[in-house]
Amino acid sequence: MDFTNCYEDTKRAESYAKLEFPGTYYLAYRDLPAITAKHVKGNTAMDFGCGAGRSTRFLRNQGFKVTGVDISNEMITMANSIDPNGDYRLVEEGSLGHFAGNSFDLVQSIFTFDNIPTEELKVKLFSEFNRILRKGGYMINLVSSPEIYTHDWASFITTCFPDNFTAKCGDKVKTIMKDVEDQRPVEDILWPDEDYKKVYKAAGLELVATYRPLGKKNEPYQWVNETHVAPWVIYVLAKA
């Protein structure tokens, strides 16, 4: 299957770099500091798939010393221009070989695995996280729920894509991001819960918690389905 990482694109990167935490994105990030504080000891972190650095700076604001990594030169360029003192590194797809083993207390990945196509590559990367984590370290993997592609949201339109409704694990699915200038559809890969569990097992990581944040009525957003269908899934994984 042909799959292109749509973030290796200057227009997309410039548009994404202006994104903060509006609408449905607020819900992805709202509970992360409490989840991270509950599980993670120590302050050394990798932000895998850091994009323009929004998630990296979010982690730094929680007191972590963070290295952001990404395969998109366009996104890393934006991260460095927004935050010249940050630590952002361009990596080759599937390769974390130059990071030493047992060197991070946390590997965080926010939305990145929505754009990683095959089971083979997923298992390879999670095995690498297992290797670079210190004993007692954790990986936090935040991804889109399968339901995000069959409902509409404060920040996304997805129901205009008929193929989303019949997609199976590994198939392409599409969304339109409402909060950015670049309204070209984003292509993701559908990966349901049971298939993530197979990947974690194959990589030797232990799933210790799963969170599915819901919107609350008193929040200052025009929730569409967010109060009763979870758009995001947050997995907390322990080094074996």
Ligand X SMILES: C[S@@+](CC[C@H](N)C(=O)[O-])C[C@H]1O[C@@H](n2cnc3c(N)ncnc32)[C@H](O)[C@@H]1O
Query: What's the min distance (Å) between Cβ of 189 and ligand X?
Result: 10
> Which residue in the shown chain puts its C-beta closest to ligand X?
51
Query: What's the min distance (Å) between Cβ of 21 and ligand X?
Result: 9
Q: What is the distance between the alpha carbons of residues 84 and 107, in angstroms, rounded to a whole number?
A: 22
Nearer to ligand X among residue 23 and residue 51 (C-beta): 51
Nearer to ligand X among residue 92 and residue 135 (C-beta): 92
Nearer to ligand X among residue 61 and residue 136 (C-beta): 61
Query: What's the min distance (Å) between Cβ of 58 and ligand X?
Result: 8
Q: Do you know the residue count of the chain?
A: 240
Nearer to ligand X among residue 136 and residue 184 (C-beta): 184
Nearer to ligand X among residue 25 and residue 217 (C-beta): 25
Query: What's the min distance (Å) between Cβ of 217 and ligand X?
Result: 26
Nearer to ligand X among residue 10 and residue 136 (C-beta): 10
**Residue 45: Cβ within 10 Å count:** 26
Query: What's the min distance (Å) between Cβ of 147 and ligand X?
Result: 18
Query: What's the min distance (Å) between Cβ of 172 and ligand X?
Result: 14
3-state SS assignment for residue 88: strand
Structure tokens at 33: 């500091």
3-state SS assignment for residue 70: strand
CA-CA distances (angstroms) from residue 129 to 70, 99, 141, 203?
14, 10, 11, 9
Residues that bind ligand X (CB under 6 A): 5, 7, 48-51, 54-55, 70-72, 75, 93, 110-112, 115-116
Q: 232-238 and 133-144 as β-strands: parallel, antiparallel, unpaired?
A: antiparallel
Beta carbons of 54 and 29 less than 8 angstroms apart:
no
* Beta-carbon contacts of residue 7 (< 8 Å; ≥ 6 apart): 13, 16, 51, 70, 72, 74, 75, 115
3-state SS assignment for residue 92: coil
